[in-house]
Amino acid sequence: MKYVVVTGGVMSGLGKGITAASIGRILINRGYHVTSVKIDPYLNIDAGLMNPAQHGEVFVLKDGGESDLDLGNYERFLDIELTSDHNLTTGKIYQSVITKERHGDYLGATVQIIPHITDEIKDRIKKAAETWTDKEGNHAEICIVEVGGTVGDIESMPFLEAVRQMHWEYGNGDFALVHVTLLPADTMGDLKTKPTQHSVKALRELGLEADIIVGRSSYPISPSTKRKIASFCDVDTNSVISARTAPDTYLVPLELEKDGMADVLLKLLRLEPGEADNSWYSVVSREYTSRVSVGIITKYGVEDVYISIKEALKHAGRKLSTEVDVHWLDAEQYTEDDLRDLDGILIPGGFGNRGVEGMINAIRFARENNKPLFGICLGFQLCVIEFMRNVVGYKDATSEEMGEGTHAIALLPEQEGVEDLGGTMRLGDFKVSIAEGSRLAELYGATEVTERHRHRYEVNPAYIDEIEAKGMKFVGRNGRRMEALELDNHPYFVATQFHPEFRSRPTRTSAPFVGFVAACRDSQRKE
């Protein structure tokens, strides 16, 4: 097993996750099997209970793991599936070590950061790397490890020490350290190297030497600036890689390739260069021939909360050569004029009461005005509530989550009495049976699919027959649970309890998203 560790300095939000994912894509394009691990140095066990408006999207993995959004980037860029083992947090590490200590596994030893915490970190990285297989059963040859936070953060110290030990254990040829750092521009447009120098100095103080330095900047790094960085940071000039801001994140691997990342990395890892497969680039750079506008009715107002939805719309748009112009509309502030100007409306997931009535009003507008609509998770549940209120006739229809009224949406039976909120929802992959002859069956080209879930509530079984008698069809089911709905005689009125965005890839687009974007485009043309 070979390891590529990605660290970052100066500031957070530099794009370490995209860099790590891009390195993985470059290696896959050269024929190697790659997996990834993300280290998050927070004390939470996972991201499940973290406020998405502060931390970003909670990405759900196939085994139900609730993880950092960077794992979504890994899955999309590498076209692989990961598990909760591939997201390490300080909380997971310390919980495991303390459990072992209580069990007596350390035979009376004084439990310390070194070696017990660092050994646990290394063991978990190795396990995630060595046990992973792709859908064809191939084991990974290379593992990309991203260390969250920045060098110098006290929270990251045990993880960086574990990385230092791994570097010593594996040695040259099986280990490479990529350090991502900021190159800010002054008023004259010159890139400044001091932040990079200080960042590399902090790395050295921890006993780590960067093999490759990726400079994040607004402009390409000039040869003279590369020489300066190389001189101060003791790396070869060719190992200073320019990573200027790209118009599309999927083009970052290509930008890194152009600046020599593949050649440098393959040499460091003592790998054969091989013939590059550029088919992935041809997909992500496909030109658009049309454009549609989609309004996402949000509860949180932060794009990173819905990053997988945004990317799934992009994937579907690429497949259809249709650029999707996303409008973020606050559920409590938009107007009907805002909706009228759109080609389609998307109602995403979320929790709590805030913004719900605005979402319901948007659903009603779409239903009554033949505007393409796609609802996901909470969006699915609110489609049911809107229909119950305005078509079936239960004016007080609501969700058990929202309070008193006719509960069109009820708590899942297995959620009754659940007190611990972390990791207890209906999470991960579940099979969904799709009704023959439905729009979704046509889009999927199948009557049984697997999709990812994250919810505690369901359509109340007591009202299903009454709802269907009025024209709303539940075309996706998992046993007694309703999973997807459609309305006939509408350009596109589809909603899913599951989250199809989590399985969408540039090269394997999500069927419901393709259907939605196509309906937006076709509806626009009819006008």
Q: Under a CB-based contact definition with an 8 Å cutoff, are residues 382 and 438 in contact?
A: no
Query: Structural domains in the chain?
Result: 2-282 (3.40.50.300), 286-526 (3.40.50.880)
pLDDT band for 190, please (50, 70, 90 cuts).
confident
* Strand segments (E) across 456-491: 457-459, 472-478, 481-487
Q: Furthest-apart CA pair in the chain: how many Å?
A: 76
pLDDT band for 246, please (50, 70, 90 cuts).
confident
Is residue 487 predicted with pLDDT exceeding 90? yes
Q: What is the pLDDT of residues 416-448, one digit of tens each?
A: 989 888 999 999 999 999 999 999 999 999 999
Q: In this structure, what are the phi and psi dihedrals at residue 180, rounded to the nearest 5 degrees?
A: -100, 130
Exactly one of 75, 161, 386, 501 is catalytic; name it. Answer: 501
Is residue 151 predicted with pLDDT exceeding 70? yes
Report the chain's terminal Cα–Cα distance, integer Å. Answer: 57
- Sheet harboring 87-89: ordered strands across? 87-89, 34-40, 142-147, 2-8, 175-182, 212-217, 240-244
pTM value is 0.95
What is each CA distance from 166 to 3, 154, 159, 171, 233, in whole angstroms?
9, 20, 10, 8, 21
Q: What is the pLDDT of residues 80-95, one digit of tens each?
A: 999 999 999 999 999 9
66 in active site: no
Coil, helix or strand for 139?
Answer: strand
Q: In this structure, what are the phi and psi dihedrals at residue 101, rounded to the nearest 5 degrees?
A: -65, -45
pLDDT at 130: 97
Mean of per-residue pLDDT scores for the chain: 94
Question: The dihedral of CA 283, 287, 291, 295: what is its sign?
Answer: positive
* Other residues' Cβ atoms within 10 Å of the Cβ of residue 380: 27
Average pLDDT for residues 343-357, to the nearest whole number?
Answer: 93
Tokens read off for 103: 């069990």
What is each CA distance from 493 to 227, 471, 512, in whole angstroms?
57, 12, 11
327 in active site: no
Is residue 174 predicted with pLDDT exceeding 80? yes
Half-sphere exposure (Cβ direction) of 363: Cα atoms closer than 13 Å: 31
Average pLDDT for residues 124-130, to the nearest whole number?
Answer: 97
The CA distance from 291 to 313, in Å, is 12
33 in active site: no
Q: At what angle do helices 378-387 and 356-368 cross, to 10 degrees?
A: 60
Is residue 51 predicted with pLDDT exceeding 90? no
The CA distance from 84 to 430, in Å, is 16
The CA distance from 116 to 306, in Å, is 38
Exactly one of 116, 386, 499, 520 is catalytic; name it. Answer: 499
Q: What is the pLDDT of residues 275-320, one digit of tens each?
A: 888 899 999 999 999 999 999 999 877 778 999 999 999 999 999 9
Exactly one of 143, 233, 377, 383 is catalytic; name it. Answer: 377
pLDDT band for 215, please (50, 70, 90 cuts).
very high
Is residue 525 predicted with pLDDT exceeding 70? no
Is residue 527 predicted with pLDDT exceeding 70? no
Tokens read off for 58: 């909670």
